[in-house]
Amino acid sequence: MNTTKNFVIDFDSTFTQVEALEVLAEISLRNHPQKEEILLKIKQITDQGMEGDISFRDSLIHRLELLEASRSHLNQLIEELRNKVSRSFVRNKQFFDEFSDSIYIVSNGFKEFICPIVKEYGIKEENVYANTFIFDSMDNITGFDQDNVLSSDNGKVALLNSLNLSGDIYVIGDGYTDYEVKKAGLANKFYAFTENVERSKVRDVADHVAPSLDEFLYHNKLPASISYPKNRINVLLLENVHPMAEKLLREEGYNVEVYPAGLDEDELCEKIKNVSILGIRSKTQVTQKVIDHANRLMAIGAFCIGTNQIDLQACLKKGIVVFNAPFSNTRSVVELAIGEIILLMRNLPDKIAGMHLGKWDKSAKNSHEVRGKKLGIIGYGNIGAQLSILAEAMGMEVYYYDITEKLALGNARKTDSLDELLQISDIISLHVDGRPDNKNMIGDREFHLMKDGVIFVNLSRGHVVDIDSMRVHIQSGKIRGAAIDVFPYEPKSNNEPFESPLVGMPNTILTPHVGGSTSEAQENIARFVPARIMEYINTGSTTNSVNFPEIQLPPMKNAHRMMHIHHNVPGVLAAINQVIAKHNLNIIGQYLKTNESIGYMILAVDKEYDNEVINELKNVEHTIRFRVLY
């Protein structure tokens, strides 16, 4: 026979995100000259009471005195509390509906504001145990019913004693008074609820810590609105990833650990065992050996552009999705290109260098506006296309050449060949990708085709330009100004000296591969990558993944999603279909994408199905990974 389960839930900072009396104080003291001081005092008294440092009754008396509140303030409070119900409570409304007979709100707060809030979750008024206010004839709050046990110390214990509930009792709360019920032997388990506040004194004595109601429900195998509590997803962020990433991932509810440095292979092998999401930059090497140790890993976020540091194939074979940030620093590169083009057109690099040597060279010779000049963009991708827009805004005439068909933005014109572009442009800016075929795509022949006195900019990849030939053409005056940010060989660290045939060339700007290096770009990356990861975890979408077949899915409605990642070998789909047919699974939507190594199948199914389906799908031969999402 099933034992009855009773759920005793606290209100302030548990059911709602806030302490209601603090919010009430904000309202009632809105125009009070000493508002800030009084609010601080109220907060301190609340905390002292919560931690068990002063008697509860004293804390209540002092706070009510300071409040100067009335019935109309209470109405405003209720309005505010409605929007402050804890997020995991809001999403698990179904739990409250289903278990309304055995859910009790036991609070040291006040029925006047608790009842209207919890009623909306199906909780019965007779199951709410809390204090009540006393009002004067003008509706001002003057005190509270001192006969109510909940206004006294150890009130929750006394109340639970008098309730004499039969069956198991689970207490969920954030305060010490909630724990006291368990301590008095009146509850089977005390769950420290830490979604809104975390008190170490309470956490330390709890049977279990519940960072959300999802965790409580999952732990007790109760119906929950999401398939897996987010706090059980461990995230490891290495290499000083921008703090925005940590913030966003924590807000999502994940358990985030941050390491400022990188980890070597052995350290990472050890650390990766419990990690579900790994965040790295360019230094951490994610090798086959690391992947072999990564049994819980679902996704890797490369908080950079390149992914050479990751064994993508090994990830793929283990069903680990890799994301990067391919265009989060686009704008930064474009701004630098524009700035450099202007400097070069004014012959400023030489003039600036001269000034530092005490040389005053005031003249308009070789100094031009960019307005009306022809800009030739080679590679009209994310960066090239954006440069096109900004350059046009400054009055430049934009031409571009790309090996794939690209939509011309604004008034930009496509040239039929690279040679044509080289011949007509006053300024040439390279924005091609780093594919091996592009090695030395600009060499002696191409420089010869350019106009005399051309301005040449390369912020793309070092190997695409023949540097020795470029030097010759700068010296000859063919190239009147150049800006180079990327080199065939770049120093591995800031301690290694930089050497290049271009050092000392006239009107030549050399920069240490910083085109995309700005704080804004770092923050953009730290927003972009977590968003992709969360989308994958929450919906299964693999948009912008570096290694996975791309599937973009709509939000889920009234369905469960079964994600099946398998080796791309014959027979797997037939086996999956057999399970579906055997269990008469009601399929609402079905998505499949494959690449040469894996298949990624998503089944959207009606919520009602036999759980055996899950086991059977997990055990289909060649399955790499299987999960159910709701």
Residues that bind ligand NAI (CB under 6 A): 305, 326-327, 329-330, 333, 378-384, 401-404, 431-434, 438, 441, 459-461, 485-486, 513, 515-516
Which is closer to ligand NAI, CB of 181 or CB of 385? Answer: 385
* Closest approach of ligand NAI to the CB of residue 307, in Å: 12
Instruction: Note the helical H segments in 302-381.
Output: 312-317, 330-345, 348-356
Q: What letter does residue 465 receive in the DSSP assignment? A: B
* Annotated active-site residue in 490, 520, 612, 621: 490
Which is closer to ligand NAI, CB of 200 or CB of 308? Answer: 308
Give which of 15, 391, 64 is closest to 174, Cα–Cα.
15
Give which of 481, 253, 457 is closest to 345, Cα–Cα.
481
Tell me the C-alpha to C-alpha distance, in Å, between residue 552 and each of 230, 234, 327, 476: 22, 25, 19, 53
Tell me the C-alpha to C-alpha distance, in Å, between residue 338 and each of 57, 304, 375, 611: 68, 23, 11, 60
Strand 623-629's sheet: what is its strand order?
Answer: 587-594, 598-606, 559-567, 623-629
- Output b/e per residue, 88-121; b: 16+ Cβ within 10 A: bbeebeebbeebeebbbbbbbbbbbbbbbbbeeb
Which is closer to ligand NAI, CB of 289 or CB of 439? Answer: 439
Would you say 584 and 626 are in contact if contact means Cβ atoms under 8 Å apart?
Answer: no
* Closest approach of ligand NAI to the CB of residue 282, in Å: 12
Please confirm, yes or no, whether 461 is among the known catalytic residues. Answer: yes
- For the CA atoms of 267, 273, 277, 283, the dihedral, rounded to the nearest 10 degrees, stands at 20
CB atoms near residue 407 (< 10 Å): 8
* Closest approach of ligand NAI to the CB of residue 400, in Å: 9
Which is closer to ligand NAI, CB of 122 or CB of 434? Answer: 434
* Closest approach of ligand NAI to the CB of residue 475, in Å: 25
Which is closer to ligand NAI, CB of 324 or CB of 347? Answer: 324
Tell me the C-alpha to C-alpha distance, in Å, between residue 429 and each of 53, 404, 500: 68, 17, 20
Give which of 211, 207, 206 is closest to 229, Cα–Cα.
211
* Annotated active-site residue in 62, 281, 461, 532: 461
Please confirm, yes or no, whether 369 is among the known catalytic residues. Answer: no
* Closest approach of ligand NAI to the CB of residue 477, in Å: 26
Would you say 222 and 202 are in contact if contact means Cβ atoms under 8 Å apart?
Answer: no
* Closest approach of ligand NAI to the CB of residue 418, in Å: 6
Please name every residue paired with 128 in a beta bridge, in sequence order, or none if there are none: 105
Which is closer to ligand NAI, CB of 315 or CB of 432? Answer: 432
* Closest approach of ligand NAI to the CB of residue 385, in Å: 8
* Closest approach of ligand NAI to the CB of residue 337, in Å: 9
When computed from its CA atoms, the radius of gyration of the chain, rounded to whole angstroms, is 33
* Annotated active-site residue in 87, 513, 527, 622: 513
d(C-alpha 133, C-alpha 60), whole Å: 11
Which is closer to ligand NAI, CB of 442 or CB of 576? Answer: 442
Please confirm, yes or no, whether 98 is among the known catalytic residues. Answer: no
Which is closer to ligand NAI, CB of 335 or CB of 392? Answer: 335
Position of minimal CB gap to ligand NAI = 381
Q: At 576, which helix (H) or strand (E)?
A: helix 572-582
Q: Which two tokens stand for residue 218?
A: 């999952």
User: Torsion-angle region of residue 440: left (phi > 0), alpha (psi -120 to 50) or beta?
Assistant: left
Catalytic residues: 461, 490, 513
